[in-house]
Chains A and B, each alone.
Chain A
């Protein structure tokens, strides 16, 4: 457990993991490069406006994969491009495992798809992030290797020019924005029934009729301005189902607008650890159990699940 944690920690400390500029340029001294944002001598990208970190735990260390961009069945994305900063999470629906489909495939492919689209189509329309989500979903159909499964998704885009945060959310992952100790924005969960969130799906051929599949158009969008010092938490339901919102707010307020990468990382780690410990506590009245009782199910304890925490401070 320690070794995995240590690896997570060290991975998470590296910011800007999805800086896709490659260093393939030859380094001859008499050469100059023009118009490429990847050259060390010419810096064209504007400074990122988010100081961000990622932390998390897979549900099971034995079977859950932990790679760059993937924690168990969850997948995440942190990316800076010229005009915006992008944070995204996707929670792969684990039920597909019974049908022989790997649930982490869909969520990871969706995140990679978003990354490719934002790299290649540079005048990307961020004002309608639903378009980005639809395009990324459609792109999965164009993969030669068949991709099946389903996941939720939540994308946050901070546009540098306007300092507005554009969000799109489908399913039960979500985000929280805290300013001076108070919640200013919180996403709405979208569920069909208890524990059955809205999900983007590509069912395998035999199961088209029986599987839930929601269109990207049913995602909820929002847009609001952010200020310097705001703290943004983007997480999958492993966090929101186990840690009550007031505790999350308290943790985020402790960060209080500090823009140090290490502090943000520490807070992300502590939230992830908290969620992890609570999820395996059998006698704790978690938000998940509370809601189950509202539906008439006598549940108690946390909800073991993959935990993914993306935390960012706005530094304008």
Chain B
């Protein structure tokens, strides 16, 4: 397979050879993965898990689907459209975060110069690279504009530049929203120096590098007498004094209500900048009405106690709070957050705390005590929470959407907590425990449940399937990687009883047959997403009118020819089939 190398070794060699006094570049592969938001593989496995990022690349430059890589749990737009998450009412943030990140520890702390990410499938998913010192301080090292994923393996290489920040951890922020299918990463390489070169040295390096590139591209011939180094130096030191402006502000003549409506469209960053303009603006920008929904996820790298203190003046009417990714590595403590929630939780309806490591027993106690109106609680990826912390959730009677993917919650605790949630309609449990117990309970006590995510939850027995098909109101069901019982027509029965299904994931169910697909096509006209990865017994299938996503990877009786035919016949359906590497 063709391999495109964005990192230019030749130009770097010339830089290095020219400046070899005292500047030693150290290359390191990952020694440990300290944190990851999600992974496709199972927790104790070695396929498609975050630990595969350790060490040198195993499969690069090959291109294809390999279990020796790291794969995040989701891709594309499909998971944003699920019913589990409340429809978004927050302000549109300008800074868009990726869906996942991985924190990678390197053995020797260095001043970073360049980071290479080896991608082996659906390349081009790296959005940002952050350099961290391990104490919770982060600096943005590289930002990338997202484009469609590439169909060849590549080394994603950040622009070489020196960062004066001793780094031991690199956070790779992954944005797979434009990816065609699951992106896969093989390894990460950090190039850095032990000592930070003096300013002139690094400037000389950058300038020499730039001028080599310009000369390489032949641009210097465009302008006769062009001297690259001089021009660049002049550019670097150009300085413009802003023009003086008048002190009359016409905007402040507008009535406050209209101003508030205009300002309600601003993101948090702009709102803060606006507050610095004048005292009248400062007053308006503190209005609680503008802060009914607060999303701190794009600012995860600088959220700490003072951020919460800043919010206290503004958050009297807080209804939606998203603090996912914030406060890790000791930036925020459980006491700080508990203090905040005690004051401002009473009107809170939606609380998202994905991948927050400061959560503990105390915090959950205060959340459940002080947020009686809570309708959506997202604790995805909070693996450090002990199981008994979840006991407190039982006080949240108004809960409708509960997301506990990738946490350590255990069955008895879960059952107790769910007991009082009478309006529960969406439940997401991507962890592994006895699944048919949960399903049996849901059948008896919450038969109206609308969406259920039991991905990788363990084996479904005949009894488990029996009670599962009884949940007739299901619109979304994910039973991927749960082993289905080998005998019986459970999938047909499921289609028959749950006719409102819009999303059905039967990944690696292994028992799906053509008759099941015919049943699905017949009984589920609203089906939009269908995942049939790894089922070897299906050969043909009916296509539902509303179908948007169909995944037939690793179904060995459906070959590339079939798939290209279908893509032509049904252009509105995204048909996914993993590119099969000829080597395997």
A138 vs chain B, min Cβ distance (A): 7
Tell me the minimal C-beta distance from A149 to chain B in angstroms: 13
Q: A35, B51: Cβ atoms under 8 Å? A: no
Q: Specify the chain B residue showing the minimal Cβ separation from A146.
A: B536
A-contact bits for B29-68, CB 8 A (1 contact / 0 none): 1010000000001101111110110111110100001011
CB 8 Å contact bits of B531-542 with A (1 = contact, 0 = none): 001111100000
A205 is an interface residue with CB less than 8 A from chain B: yes
Is the CB–CB distance between B534 and A144 below 8 Å? yes
Are B46 and A145 in contact, CB atoms less than 8 angstroms apart?
no
**B108 at the binding interface (Cβ < 8 Å):** yes
Q: Are B108 and A22 in contact (CB under 8 A)?
A: no
Assembled-state Cα–Cα distance A25/B187 (Å): 12
Residues of A within 8 A of B45 (CB): 138-139, 142
Q: How far is the CA of A30 from the CA of B193 in the complex (A)?
A: 12
- A33-B28 contact in complex given A24-B60, A138-B45, C-beta closer than 8 Å: yes
Residues in A with CB closer than 8 Å to B486 are: 203, 205-206, 208-209
A195 within 8 A of B: no
- Do residues A30 and B25 form an inter-chain contact, with CB atoms below 8 A? yes
CB proximity of A8 to chain B, nearest CB, Å:
22
Q: Is B401 located at the chain interface by the 8 A CB criterion?
A: no
Docked-complex contact A144 and B554, CB < 8 angstroms: yes
B52: A residues at CB distance < 8 A: 120
Residues of B within 8 A of A117 (CB): 46
Q: How far is the CB of B418 from chain A (nearest CB, A)?
A: 29
Known: A22-B58, A30-B20, A208-B486. A146 touches B554 (CB 8 A): yes
Closest to A207 in B: B486
A148 to B31, CA, bound (A): 35
Separation of A22 and B556 alpha carbons in the complex (Å)? 31
The answer to whether B46 touches A205 (Cβ under 8 A) is no
Chain A residues in 8 Å Cβ range of B106: 35
Is residue B17 within 8 Å, beta carbon to beta carbon, of the partner chain? Answer: yes
B41 cross-chain contacts in A, Cβ below 8 A: 142
Given A20-B58, A121-B51, A205-B510, check contact A32 B487 (CB 8 Å).
Answer: no
Closest to B49 in A: A120
Shortest beta-carbon distance, A214 to chain B, in Å?
17
Q: Which residues of A contact B42 (CB under 8 A)?
A: 142
25 chain-A/chain-B pairs, Cβ below 8 angstroms: A22-B57, A26-B27, A28-B16, A30-B17, A30-B20, A30-B25, A31-B27, A35-B31, A35-B106, A36-B29, A36-B55, A116-B46, A120-B46, A120-B51, A120-B52, A135-B44, A142-B42, A142-B48, A143-B67, A144-B533, A145-B556, A146-B534, A146-B536, A146-B556, A205-B487
What sequence of 0s and 1s flags, for each residue 437-468 of chain B, a beta carbon within 8 Å of any chain A beta carbon? 00000000000000000000000000000000
**Taking the complex as formed, is B198 at the interface, i.e. its CB lies under 8 A from any CB of chain A?**
no
Within 8 A of B (CB), among A196-233: 203, 205-206, 208-209
A23's closest neighbor in chain B, by CB?
Answer: B56
B binding-site residues for A, Cβ under 8 Å: 9, 12-13, 16-17, 20, 24-29, 31, 41-42, 44-49, 51-52, 54-58, 60, 65, 67-68, 106-108, 191, 481, 483, 486-487, 508, 510-511, 533-537, 553-554, 556, 578
Residues of B within 8 A of A26 (CB): 9, 27
Q: In this assembly, does A63 line the interface, its C-beta being within 8 Å of a C-beta of chain B?
A: no
Which positions 251-276 of chain A face chain B at CB distance < 8 Å? none
Query: In the complex, given contacts A138-B44, A144-B67, A144-B534, what are 20 additional A-B residue pairs having Cβ atoms less than 8 angstroms apart?
Result: A24-B57, A24-B60, A25-B56, A28-B16, A30-B24, A30-B25, A31-B27, A34-B28, A38-B56, A116-B67, A120-B46, A120-B49, A121-B51, A141-B483, A142-B45, A142-B48, A142-B481, A146-B508, A146-B510, A146-B536
Of B16, B44, B47, the contact of A143 (CB 8 Å cutoff): B47
Q: How far is the CA of A146 from the CA of B107 in the complex (A)?
A: 38
Q: How big is chain A's contact interface, by range?
A: 20 to 34
The 5 closest A-B pairs by CB, nearest first: A35-B107, A208-B486, A205-B511, A120-B46, A205-B486
A120 to B47, CA, bound (A): 10
A115: nearest chain-B partner, CB-CB = B46
A166 to chain B, nearest CB (A): 20
A43 to chain B minimum Cβ distance, whole angstroms, is 15
Give the complex CA separation of A41 and B416 in angstroms: 58
Expressed in whole angstroms, the Cα–Cα distance for A38 and B536 within the complex equals 39
Q: In the complex, which residues 21-64 of chain A have their Cβ closer than 8 Å to any Cβ of chain B?
A: 21-22, 24-26, 28, 30-36, 38
Contacts of A146 in B (CB 8 A): 508, 510, 534-536, 554, 556
Once A120-B46, A142-B47, A146-B534 are accepted as A-B contacts, the answer to whether A34 and B107 lie under 8 Å apart by CB is: yes
Contact digits for A97-133, partner B, Cβ 8 Å, 1 yes 0 no: 0000000000000000100110011000000000000
Q: Within the assembled complex, what's the spacing in Å between the Cα atoms of A113 and B41?
A: 14
Task: Identify whether the interface residues of B are mostly helix, strand, loop, or mixed.
Answer: loop
Most-contacted residue by chain B among A38, A138, A139, A145 (CB, 10 A):
A145
The answer to whether B65 and A144 touch across the interface, beta carbons within 8 angstroms, is: yes
Nearest B residue (CB) for A22 = B56
Minimum Cβ distance to chain B for residue A133 (Å): 14
CB closest residue in chain A, given B513: A205
Which chain B positions have C-beta within 8 A of A20? Answer: 58
Among B12, B24, B55, B537, point to the contact of A205 (Cβ < 8 A).
Answer: B537
Taking a contact as CB atoms under 8 Å apart, the answer to whether B578 and A144 are in contact is yes
Q: Which residues of B contact A144 (CB under 8 A)?
A: 65, 67, 508, 533-534, 553-554, 578
Contacts of B27 in A (CB 8 A): 25-26, 31-34
* Chain B residues whose CB sits within 8 angstroms of the CB of A113 once the complex forms: 46
Question: Is B65 within 8 A of A35, CB to CB?
Answer: no
**B46, B191, B534: most-surrounded residue (chain A CB, <10 A):** B46
**Least Cβ–Cβ distance between B38 and chain A, in angstroms:** 16
Q: Report the minimum CB–CB distance from A139 to chain B (whole Å).
A: 6
**A31 / chain B contacts, CB cutoff of 8 Å:** 25-27, 191
Q: Which residues of B contact A135 (CB under 8 A)?
A: 44
Render A1-26 as a binary contact track against B, CB cut-off 8 A, 1 for contact: 00000000000000000001110111
Nearest CB of chain B from residue A119's CB, rounded to whole Å: 8
Contact with B along A144-188 (1 / 0, CB 8 A): 111000000000000000000000000000000000000000000
Chain B residues closer than 8 Å to A21, beta-carbon distance: 56
- Closest-by-CB residue of A relative to B186 is A24
Within the assembled complex, what's the spacing in Å between the Cα atoms of A144 and B554? 7
How far apart are the CA atoms of A25 and B55 in the complex, in Å?
A: 11
Residue of A nearest to B486 (CB): A208
Chain A residues positioned under 8 Å from B49 (CB to CB):
120
Contacts of B47 in A (CB 8 A): 116, 139, 142-143
Query: Per-residue CB proximity of A57-76 to B under 8 Å, as 1/0?
Result: 00000000000000000000
Q: How far is the CB of A23 from chain B (nearest CB, A)?
A: 9
Which chain A residue shows the least CB distance to B28? A34
Chain B proximity of A24: nearest CB distance (Å): 5
A115 to chain B, nearest CB (A): 10
B334 smallest CB distance to A (angstroms): 30
CB distance from B191 to the nearest CB of A (A): 8
Residues of B within 8 A of A25 (CB): 27, 56
Cα-based distance from A20 to B56 in the complex (angstroms): 10
Given A28-B13, A142-B42, A35 and B58 contact (CB-CB distance below 8 Å): no
Distance from B393 Cβ to chain A, minimum over Cβ atoms (Å): 30
Inter-chain CA distance A208–B511, complex, in Å, is 11
Kindly list chain B residues whose C-beta atoms are within 8 Å of the C-beta of A24.
Answer: 56-57, 60
Min CB–CB distance A105 → chain B (angstroms): 11
- Nearest residue in A to B16 (C-beta to C-beta)? A30
By a CB distance below 8 angstroms, the chain A residues around B48 are 142
